[in-house]
Amino acid sequence: MQPINIMKRHYLSLAIAAFGLTLILNPVAAHAQGLRPSRFNLVPASGPIAACLPNAAATVTVFPREDVRGVDTLDLHAEGLRPNTTFAVFLTEMPVPPFGAVQYIGDFTTNAAGRGHVRIDAIIDEAFAFNNITGIRTDLNHIVFWFADPADDEDCVPGSAPAHFDGDGQSGVAAMSSKNFLPGAPLP
């Protein structure tokens, strides 16, 4: 009986070692392919927002995992925003009006201290919009988030007209964007 237990332990050890090597080598392979996370900051989308929310800050980290998992992961952390407020997050062609092609990817709601976070699994690094009528492909290399409710931006931009950047078709103004990368873009 003892030789069988030794063999079971041997095979179990081999299985554990193989699993460990998979965990070790997979990130090495991803690193070798240049698939490191990218991190960048967003800035207030306009002068009135910057004046109204002087401590607004947002950091975006994109983990490129599409080749391995089928989706990337976008991790957005924001602070210095209005408390208990929902924001709609989009990938966009441009970070400033008229924004061009856009893709709605998620929402987040700030806490009582004005901090919010969202993690989104989607195609991020290779996101694009395609117009089947014109045959034009448009890369979505910027990130913008809007006040999800048009009433929530009134302290910052009184009388602003509702925009269409939310799931229900009505939003407030853009709060933060990647306009600090113009004329370039933060995403490939």
Nearest residue to 124 (alpha-carbon basis) of 182, 67, 51: 67
Q: Tell me what the mean pLDDT of segment 8-16 comes to.
A: 52
Q: What is the pLDDT of residue 8?
A: 57
Angstrom distance (rounded) from CA 85 to CA 112: 9
Cis peptide before 188 (omega within 30 of 0): no
Q: Is the pLDDT of residue 1 over 60?
A: no
Q: What is the pLDDT of residue 167?
A: 84
Q: What is the pLDDT of residue 66?
A: 86
CA atoms within 13 A on the CB side of 9: 6
Q: What is the pLDDT of residue 132?
A: 93
Please identify which residue in the block is written with the tokens 């992961």.
73
Please identify which residue in the block is written with the tokens 């800050």.
57
Tens of pLDDT along 26-85?
Answer: 444 444 455 789 999 999 999 999 999 999 999 999 999 988 889 999 999 999 999 999
- Calculate the alpha carbon distances from 33 to 67, 75, 104 in Å: 10, 21, 29
Q: Residue 123 contacts by C-beta under 8 Å, 6 or more apart in sequence?
A: 66, 71, 72
Tens of pLDDT along 104-158?
Answer: 999 999 999 999 999 999 999 999 999 999 999 999 999 999 999 999 999 999 9
